Amino acid sequence: MLRLPTTAIRLCIYAILPRVTGVRVALGVDLGTGSVKVALVDEAGETLRSASQAYDLSSPHPGWAEADPMEWLHATTAAAGQVLDNGEGAGAMRVGFSGQMHGVVLCDESLDPVRPAITWADSRAGNEAADMQSALGPEVLARLGSPAVSGFAATSLRWIRVHEPEALVRARYALQPKDWLRARLGGMVATEPSDASGTLLANVDDGSWNDDAITWSGVDRDVLPPIIGSSDAAGEIHLAGKTFECVTGASDTAAAITGLGLSIGDGFTAVGSGSQTVSLVPRPTGGISHGTHLFATAGAPGSGWYRIGAVQNAGIALRQALTWLDATAEQANAALDQGVHPSDPLFVPYVAGERTPFVDPGLRGAWLGLGLDTSREAMLRSVVEGVAHAVALGIDAVLGAGAPLPDPLPLIGGGSVDARFRQLIADASGRRLAPRDQPDAAVVGAAFLALGVTAPPASGADDVIEPQNSAHELLAARQQRLVEYVQQSHEQ
């Protein structure tokens, strides 16, 4: 009888793989918005073992989206312990990091947070964003790669300067989430081009800090870490009772690009807490257009870039609406079995403001067209439809900014695994989609950065989802109604 190896035996196998077969392994740590994933990955990109730990966002006031960095630390330690079995068989692996972009952790000299982290989903700094847009102007913002929006480090720091100046007095560093985690585990205080480019404090073309933006934010330059390469050595960290060498890492999207093996001309749409449509571009040009952003890829400063439509409201809106309706995601997707009806209410998914394409932190969600005859099933169906429209509008924004997207368009992310939802995205966007079963792209990319390898080019799609003409026509009309509602709200 064939028996699978026990955990201890598997870990021993992982430890001796480099010596016996020449296969190297690394540990990837992906610090997401709602959970952290730790994975043991080999140089072929196979996830040998992984574990996740969840944590919560808090919203003590409308529009706020904060997190306790110490919960990130505890969750990472717990997940790593599951993967490494308290460090047994860990070998001489290196560790790479990826993480949620834009947020900021203010911490003291000992790397203890002086206040909760402000995350990318936070919309409190709308006034600060408007002031930054006006004060710095289009030329400086084009160098920063983004319109001035709430939830980025620059606008969050300016808000703190105005409303909580004592926090800045106590702070020694202002760090991106994954950079704080790496440093708190014992690594260097540093960042790298992909995360720096998402702060609105750095020049996206050459990966240097921008003095105009720093001055506007009201912080001292020395609270910002040095910018080094994504695969550069970043000291040693301590996890699961072991000491590991680590590299700087990359933002989640840049790490996913690395994990997917993409190059100039490639792109994808990812659906998770938010949705990102990405196009890799040859030069840092194009300015700010259609609410999209230009960010740096993983690597050395000034070595690569991508255009992105960053939609805040995908899974985060779905989860909130399901809470209101006391429903599950499966129940919502099952409601799609009958297709979207013309009489269904229209769900406006912007419960946390929005970046692409509307650039309005004050946007809020709504249901349009509710009546006495509206069923719970129709409301559930409308929630999933509204998220699909948000994803589709992100795709349109990237194309409208002049960045090419492949046909079919790869679709990745843990939020896009249901076949009914995938079809709905194809119908809402009118684009052919090629689902890729790579929900771990970011954590694999983090491990690749630690290994110093790149993924092989992606093979052609086996499964292509074609948009259905009749469904697309109905959804296009409903999507236009959603856009008109948002534009009217934006003008008020």
In a domain, 248, yes or no: yes
C-alpha distances (whole Å) from 345 to each of 121, 124, 377, 386, 469 are 26, 29, 11, 10, 21
In a domain, 209, yes or no: yes
- Predicted pLDDT of residue 5: 43
- The answer to whether 354 and 363 have CB atoms below 8 angstroms apart is yes
What pTM, to 2 d.p., does this model score?
0.86
Sequence-distant (6+) residues with CB within 8 A of 256 are: 98, 268, 270, 412, 441, 442, 445
- The answer to whether 76 and 133 have CB atoms below 8 angstroms apart is no
How confident is the model over 137-180, as pLDDT tens digits? 999 999 999 999 999 999 999 999 999 999 999 999 999 999 99
In a domain, 346, yes or no: no
Find the range with the poorest average confidence among 11-25, 270-284, 469-483: 11-25
In a domain, 356, yes or no: no
In a domain, 314, yes or no: no
Task: Indicate if the pLDDT at residue 11 is higher than 50.
Answer: no
High-pLDDT (> 90) share of the chain, % = 80
Q: Which domain holds residue 25?
A: 18-252
In a domain, 462, yes or no: no
Task: Indicate if the pLDDT at residue 380 is higher than 60.
Answer: yes
- Predicted pLDDT of residue 19: 42
Mean pLDDT of 434-463: 84
| Mean predicted lDDT score pLDDT of the chain | 91
How confident is the model over 177-213, as pLDDT tens digits? 999 999 999 999 999 999 999 999 999 999 999 999 9
Tokens of 14: 């992982």
- Predicted pLDDT of residue 22: 52
In a domain, 328, yes or no: no
Number of domains, the chain: 1
Task: Indicate if the pLDDT at residue 217 is higher than 70.
Answer: yes
In a domain, 429, yes or no: no
Sequence-distant (6+) residues with CB within 8 A of 237 are: 95, 182, 185, 186, 187, 243, 244, 246
Q: What CA–CA distance (Å, rounded) separates 356 from 351?
A: 14
- CATH number of the domain bearing residue 164: 3.30.420.40
